[in-house]
């Protein structure tokens, strides 16, 4: 949850993953999900992204598009 919405917990996330998460979820959805990795990966598009990015080096960066 963003600090603007009284969020206090922070979870370190790689920038490319952060963009992918926000491309698939609104802040309100993320507030409901919390830090539940399983709930995030239940979204097919995000699960496919994680599978794709898993074999990339830690310093890998690529553009992230919002789904239509």
Share of the chain above pLDDT 90, in %: 34
Statement: residue 41 has pLDDT above 90: yes
**In this structure, how many other beta carbons lie within 10 angstroms of the beta carbon of residue 7?**
12
**In this structure, how many other beta carbons lie within 10 angstroms of the beta carbon of residue 50?**
16
Average pLDDT, the chain: 83
How far apart CA 49 and CA 34 sit, in angstroms, is 19
Check residue 1 and give its pLDDT: 61
How far apart CA 4 and CA 6 sit, in angstroms, is 6
Statement: residue 53 has pLDDT above 60: yes
Statement: residue 67 has pLDDT above 70: no
Instruction: From 6, 5, 41, select the one nearest 21 (Cα to Cα).
Output: 41
Check residue 60 and give its pLDDT: 84
Share of the chain above pLDDT 70, in %: 81
């Amino acid at each position: 949850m963003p600090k603007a919405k009284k969020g206090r917990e922070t979870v370190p996330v790689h920038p490319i993953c952060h963009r992918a998460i926000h491309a698939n979820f609104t802040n309100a959805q993320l507030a409901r999900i919390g830090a539940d990795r399983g709930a995030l990966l239940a979204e097919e598009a995000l699960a496919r992204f994680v599978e794709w990015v898993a074999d990339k080096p830690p310093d890998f960066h690529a553009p992230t598009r919002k789904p239509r």
